[in-house]
Each structure stands twice: as C-alpha cells, then as structure tokens.
C-alpha cells in the first residue's frame, strides 16, 4: 500500500497526542477513502445527468421538428 506524509500544525499534533487511543493514521485513511468514493460517485452522477440531458434535448428537438412538419402539412392542405 502506498504511503503519504501529512503535515499538521504543532498545536494540532499536541491535541492529537492527548488521545493516543485514536489510530489517527487509520482515521485519516478512512476519511480519505470516503471522500474519494463520494467524489467518484458525484462524477458518475454528473456523467449520467449529462447523458440524460442530451437525450432530453434530442427528444425535445424531435418533437419540435415533428410539430413543425405537421403544421406545414396542415397549412399546405389549407386546414390552418
């Protein structure tokens, strides 16, 4: 497993030392993992929303084109 080094201010390090029962490395690892998964999920959702938006725009355009063609045909027949 790769390692990273994290710097914290001296006052934070002193506070952390007050709680030796906490595995700070494990805690930070879990927080990083959760945030990375959250960001990945957000990326996936945005990608899916963009695809859905493209489909919506396509279907709206198709509907407009269909109505335009239908109106033109009705005008040509003198029904409008």
Residue 33 counted as domain residue: yes
Sequence-ordered list of residues with C-beta below 8 angstroms from that of 22, at least 6 positions apart, any chain: 16
Total domains present in the chain: 1
**Domain assignment of residue 43, given as a range:** 28-77
The pLDDT tens digits for 1-44 are 889 999 999 999 999 999 999 999 999 999 999 999 999 999 99
The pLDDT tens digits for 33-65 are 999 999 999 999 999 999 899 889 889 888 888
Closest CA to 31 of 22, 21, 19: 22
Residue 39 counted as domain residue: yes
Residue 47 counted as domain residue: yes
What does pTM read for this prediction?
0.61
């Amino acid at each position: 497993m790769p390692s990273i080094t994290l710097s914290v201010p001296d006052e934070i390090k002193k506070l952390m030392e007050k709680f030796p029962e906490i595995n700070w490395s494990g805690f930070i690892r879990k927080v990083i993992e959760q945030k990375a998964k959250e960001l990945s999920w957000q990326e996936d959702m945005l990608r899916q929303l963009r695809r859905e938006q493209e489909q919506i725009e396509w279907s709206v355009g198709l509907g407009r084109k269909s109505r335009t063609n239908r109106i033109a045909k009705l005008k040509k027949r003198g029904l409008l």
